Every structure is written in structure tokens, then in C-alpha cells.
């Protein structure tokens, strides 16, 4: 009988855990699979870990990996996948915005087409208020403009993956990773299905955090901003060269002396802003290289429960 590893992360999640467990085990029972459920406690400030430990005592197929602090949603997911042992791995957030019943839909689609390695969900209609919807669309358009690998718009974490794909996915060792891009960069045969995503009405992602995550995703996943910056510098150089030529011709042949305070100051501010922006962009890339060169672990496991002799160290 095939085995599925359900991997999910915890952060301010204590109110969802028991209902999530009830619904996901019901779906697994309907399909008729063996299973393990891996909860990764990403430094949650509430009692999420304690709620999962209650399940560990009742069900020996429930696992808990407790990280030493909050390392972020995407690194926590990768930790969970590293210790998944199922023939299939099912990723889903614990907050029930994505229905656990998606496992059955994805599994049927996966097994009906043996050449598929991944079945993922994407939002049929993007949730949220106007700002969230517009900013989300702009982000995916910008990512696809900068990326060599197309990223489906409104893609979700929710997905089922076979063991071959997961084994290769966890080989990506970036400390700063954009999981949405890495999941596509890994390749293999993938298929998307439209999903209706709910809205619990609150989020741990503030606008500032979303902006930082978007900037981190762009810098971590694409080098094209550096190329665009170089092209912009070359364009400005030739534009400035043409303008200088125009001034020289005006002075030598037409004796036309121009008062240049306004144009000079405008040019200084323009070039100064571009130089600072370019230096800042280069600094972001250098900082990524600096952190990656240190070889720090993506996340640190404090304790693990439910794994028996195969407990993560």
C-alpha cells in the first residue's frame, strides 16, 4: 500500500491543529493510504507544539520537528521534506485555508497519469482585498519577467509530489530560498489544478514583511536585475555622451552658451540616485553570497518527536 507523508508547518497555529488532523486523516482513510504527518514547529510563540504532542501520544504516525527558533515558512517546509519517508509527499498549510480534501483530488490526478511527478494547486480567484490582489499579480508578473523558469501565477504551496521529485528538491541548499521558484526550477513533470482558497481573515504576513519577502525572492532567484542595471548604466552613458557632443557643437559652431544650473543639478541628482540604487542592488547580491559562503544550516532542529530510532539529529 502506498504511503503519503503530509508535511505542514506551525506558527500561531494551535487553534487549527486538531481540526486539521481530523480532516486530513479522514481523507487519507477515504483514499486508503498508509501515512505519516510531519508537523514542523517554526518557533511558534503559542502552544502549537503542545497540541501536536497530544496527537503524537495518540497516533504513532504523527511526527513533530521543533526548530530552535523561527527560521521562516519555506526553510521549515524543506526541513519537513528532508525527513519525509512516503512514496508521496503532500504539502499543505495547517490553517485550513486550503482544504485537506485536496489530497484526494491531487492523488487521483497523479495516479491517473503515471508520468506526472507533481500536482500543485493555483488560486482560481485570488483572495484578499484590492491591494493584496493587485500586488500579488504584479509580483508574479515581475518574477516571470526576471525568471528564466516560468512560475505559474497565484501558485500555492499545496501540492502532492512523488519521492523521486522530493529527493531532488531537498538537494537545493540555498539558505535564502524562494520556494515558489525552487519548486519550478527543480523541473520534472508538473500539472496545476485550480483551487478555491479560503480566507481566515488574518495573516502573520504584514505588508512590510510581504515586501521584504518579495525583494528577497527576486534577489535569491534571478540575476536579471544586475543585467538590467548594467544595461541602464550603458544607456545613460551613451545618452550623456550624446548630450555632451551636443553641448560642444553648440559652443564651437553656434557660440551658444547655456546656463546649466538646473540641468546640472538635475543630472547630479539623477545619476546620484541611480548610482546609489545600483550599489544597493549589488550589495543585496553580495550579502546573499556572503551568507551562503558561511555554510550556515538552513534551520536548526531543537527536538523531534514520534520518529523513533530515525529521529532527526
> What is the residue extent of each domain of the chain?
3-206+296-310, 224-293
pLDDT of residue 142: 63
* Average pLDDT over the chain, rounded to an integer: 77
Averaged pLDDT, 137-152: 64
Pairing of strands 62-67, 301-305: antiparallel
pLDDT of residue 122: 84
Specify whether the CB–CB gap between 7 and 80 falls below 8 A: yes
Can you tell me the distance from the alpha carbon of 120 to that of 182, in angstroms, rounded to the nearest whole number? Answer: 14
pTM over the 0.95 mark: no
pLDDT digits (tens, 9 = 90+) for 179-237: 767 777 777 888 888 887 766 555 555 566 566 665 666 666 666 666 666 666 667 66
pLDDT of residue 179: 73
CATH of domain 3-206+296-310: 3.90.550.10
Q: Interior CA angle at 62 toward 95 and 174, to 5°?
A: 65
Residue 43 has pLDDT above 80, yes or no: yes
Give the sheet arrangement for strand 62-67, strand by strand: 190-195, 118-123, 155-162, 88-91, 3-10, 34-41, 62-67, 301-305
Amino acid at each position: 500500500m502506498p504511503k503519503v507523508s503530509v508535511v505542514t508547518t506551525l506558527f500561531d497555529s494551535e487553534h487549527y491543529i486538531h481540526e486539521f488532523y481530523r480532516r486530513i486523516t479522514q481523507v487519507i482513510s477515504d483514499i486508503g493510504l498508509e501515512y505519516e504527518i510531519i508537523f514542523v514547529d517554526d518557533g511558534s510563540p503559542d502552544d502549537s507544539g503542545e497540541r501536536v504532542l497530544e496527537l503524537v501520544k495518540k497516533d504513532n504516525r504523527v511526527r513533530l520537528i521543533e526548530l530552535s527558533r523561527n527560521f521562516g515558512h519555506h526553510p521549515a517546509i524543506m526541513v519537513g521534506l528532508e525527513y519525509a519517508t512516503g512514496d508521496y509527499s503532500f504539502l499543505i498549510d495547517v490553517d485550513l485555508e486550503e482544504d485537506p480534501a485536496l489530497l484526494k483530488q491531487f492523488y487521483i490526478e497523479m495516479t491517473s497519469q503515471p508520468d506526472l511527478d507533481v500536482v500543485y494547486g493555483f488560486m482560481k480567484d485570488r483572495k484578499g482585498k484590492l491591494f493584496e490582489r493587485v500586488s500579488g499579480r504584479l509580483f508574479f508578473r515581475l518574477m516571470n519577467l526576471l525568471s528564466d523558469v516560468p512560475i505559474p501565477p497565484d501558485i500555492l504551496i499545496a501540492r502532492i509530489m512523488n519521492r523521486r521529485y522530493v529527493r531532488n528538491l531537498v538537494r537545493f541548499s540555498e539558505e535564502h530560498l524562494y520556494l515558489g521558484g525552487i519548486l519550478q526550477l527543480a523541473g520534472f513533470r508538473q500539472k496545476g489544478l485550480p483551487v478555491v482558497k479560503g480566507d481566515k481573515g488574518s495573516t502573520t504576513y504584514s505588508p512590510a514583511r510581504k515586501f521584504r519577502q518579495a525583494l528577497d525572492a527576486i534577489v535569491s532567484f534571478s540575476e536579471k536585475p544586475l543585467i538590467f542595471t548594467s544595461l541602464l548604466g550603458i544607456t545613460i552613458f551613451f545618452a550623456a555622451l550624446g548630450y555632451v557632443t551636443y553641448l560642444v557643437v553648440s559652443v564651437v559652431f553656434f557660440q551658444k552658451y547655456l546656463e546649466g544650473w538646473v540641468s546640472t543639478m538635475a543630472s547630479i541628482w539623477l545619476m546620484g540616485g541611480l548610482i546609489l540604487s545600483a550599489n544597493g542592488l549589488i550589495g543585496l547580491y553580495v550579502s546573499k553570497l556572503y551568507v551562503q559562503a558561511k555554510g550556515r544550516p538552513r534551520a536548526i532542529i531543537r527536538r523531534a518527536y514520534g520518529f523513533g530510532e530515525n529521529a532527526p539529529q
